[in-house]
Homo-oligomer: A and B are copies of this chain.
Amino acid sequence: MAIETSMAEVAIEQNLERFLLVLSVSLSVATLPQIVSWFRRIPYTLLLVIVGLALAIADVRLINLSPGLILFIFLPPLLFEAAWNLKWSNLKRDLVPIILFAVFGVVISTVGITLGLNQLAGVPIAIAALIGASLAATDPVSVTALFRELGVAKRLSVLMEGESLFNDGMAVVVFSFLVGLSLGESQLGLSPILVEFFVVVGLGLGMGLLIGFGISYLTQRFDLPLVEQSLTLVSAYGCYIITEQLGGSGVIGVVVTGLVLGNFGSRIGMNPRTRIIVTEFWEFIAFFVNSIMFLLIGDQILFRSLLENLPTIAITIGLMILTRAIAIYGLTFFANRTVQSEIPISDQTILWWGGLRGSVSIALALSVPAALAGRDELIATVFGVVLFTLLVQGLTIQPLLKTLKLLGDQPVRQEYSELVARRAALERVLQHLTQMKERPEVEADFYNLQKVLVKGELQNLESELDTLMNEHPNLREFTAEQLRSELMAIEANTYAEFVRSGRLNEELAPSLQLVFNEHKEG
């Protein structure tokens, strides 16, 4: 097609081509475990990093990963998706340790790495501090992706995800304060840091709540699935950009919006089908963005500068592991005095070793002004440490979980839950078929055929369930737990029905819903 294209169009086309190429490579990586089963041991995201590294060794550079790309395009959807799927009731239970990790963990890591690098490796204090701040926050994307693939216990992944979703605000504040300081724009002192911290975090929280609840009440007024789906996308990017422009933490904004929409808005404003479609849509977006990002992280590595800075990198790794140990074991000591059930030492060990660094650290390092002396050293160090956490820590966390017996009987429970859900669904179908008035317009044979089919299926399910219960006697405890939550669900549904039918004031619903959601999941 011989249509003349302008420069801008050529640029659009080339960018699109690049992304398609990256995506194609990633998708090929995704099919590797299907071809060679050995690869199944390695989580998909880490496999991408390794393939990216291999491409970098062969000097195949797919695309240049700018901090703008990471921050504006990739981060909002990933954060939104993680928050959308995080249950508020779970998060609330461990809010104290999560806040402690997110706030003081960052301070401990930054101070520890800064002083250590300065004393042990002779790195200038300004650069050391920026390295410390870049690496202070665990990465929500890497951590979430990895923990989901491994299927660890709920509480552990909530602790890990919760911390990583909220510590960015703190890290970004510390980091940008330090950048200002090293360029001579900020003043050293505790009160300006504190003021900035509260402004940045407060704006993030405020905008997140505003947009989250705003969209929630908006979607309650109509039932337009495609519009509601689009609104989740608009709110993720919109909240990030608006919060950033106001000077707040876009990361915290998106996380709060995602939490509100996933836990509240999707319940009051979306019908069940829409909710499932939106969840599936975000699952795809997260897969899509992760596929691109982890490959590019590997592909960005410059081996020469990694080798040049190897001693600094090694020392930083040691400091990072040490400071995280102090932060996790130390802060948990205090947190365990407040929470209902203590965080056991095995969980603490996973929290310590599983604190991967990723895209946020890289974006922060790349965003250091070019004017700053020592920028290249800083970037190389941060990349090196991130690579270590992804490859060494990421690949050893599964054996560690197994050693600590933390993988649990999750698969069996899952199988059991699925069978029970299927039985309930089919029973309800049968009930409906039996109770409904026969419609003159449908042939009687059709009813009978359906009934026979459903009954046969139900018998199969019963026998499968029997087998499962005999093989795993400790499922009984689990089923008792399930029954309790079923009863709670009946209670909660009654409230919901009262609200729906107008017998309960709708405006008061939020506070109520918070109350009964707690019940429901308790």
Query: Of all chain B residues, which has the CB nearest A64?
Result: B8
Flag if B494 contacts A176 (CB, 8 Å). Answer: no
Flag if B516 contacts A501 (CB, 8 Å). Answer: no
Flag if A277 contacts B280 (CB, 8 Å). Answer: yes
A143 to B4 alpha-carbon distance, docked (Å)? 27
A258 to B279 alpha-carbon distance, docked (Å)? 25
Flag if B2 contacts A176 (CB, 8 Å). Answer: yes
CB distance from A363 to the nearest CB of B (A): 8
- A120 contacts across to B, CB distance below 8 A: none
Flag if B6 contacts A68 (CB, 8 Å). Answer: yes
Q: 0/1 per residue, A492-511, Cβ < 8 Å to B?
A: 11111111111111111101
Flag if B521 contacts A502 (CB, 8 Å). Answer: yes
Q: How large is the interface on A (under 10, 10 to 19, 20 to 34, 35 or more residues)?
A: 35 or more
A287 to B500 alpha-carbon distance, docked (Å)? 22
Flag if B475 contacts A501 (CB, 8 Å). Answer: no
Flag if B230 contacts A23 (CB, 8 Å). Answer: yes
A464 at the interface (CB under 8 A from B): no
Flag if B9 contacts A72 (CB, 8 Å). Answer: yes
CB distance from A412 to the nearest CB of B (A): 12
Flag if A230 contacts B288 (CB, 8 Å). Answer: yes
- A241 contacts across to B, CB distance below 8 A: 13, 16-17, 20
Query: Of all chain B residues, which has the CB nearest A480?
Result: B442
**Could you say which of A91-99, A100-108, A218-226, A389-397 contacts chain B?**
A218-226
- A275 contacts across to B, CB distance below 8 A: 496, 500
Given contacts A20-B234, A279-B506, contact A221 B439 (CB under 8 A): no
A247 to B429 alpha-carbon distance, docked (Å)? 53
Flag if B283 contacts A284 (CB, 8 Å). Answer: no
- A494 contacts across to B, CB distance below 8 A: 421, 424-425, 428
CB distance from A122 to the nearest CB of B (A): 27
A521 to B506 alpha-carbon distance, docked (Å)? 14
Q: 0/1 per residue, A377-391, Cβ < 8 Å to B?
A: 000000000000000
Contact of A507 among B34, B148, B424, B488 (CB under 8 A): B148
A256 at the interface (CB under 8 A from B): no
A503 to B442 alpha-carbon distance, docked (Å)? 15
Given contacts A3-B367, A443-B480, A520-B502, contact A421 B68 (CB under 8 A): no
A409 at the interface (CB under 8 A from B): no
CB distance from A124 to the nearest CB of B (A): 20
Write 9 A-B pairs (CB below 8 A) sorted by A numbering. A9-B71, A20-B237, A24-B238, A418-B511, A428-B490, A428-B491, A432-B487, A439-B479, A442-B480
With A4-B369, A6-B66 known, 11 other A-B pairs at CB within 8 A are A1-B247, A13-B68, A13-B72, A16-B73, A24-B234, A24-B238, A27-B230, A85-B506, A226-B288, A275-B500, A486-B501
| Across the A-B interface, the 6 shortest Cβ-Cβ residue pairs | A9-B68, A425-B494, A272-B496, A2-B176, A3-B367, A421-B498
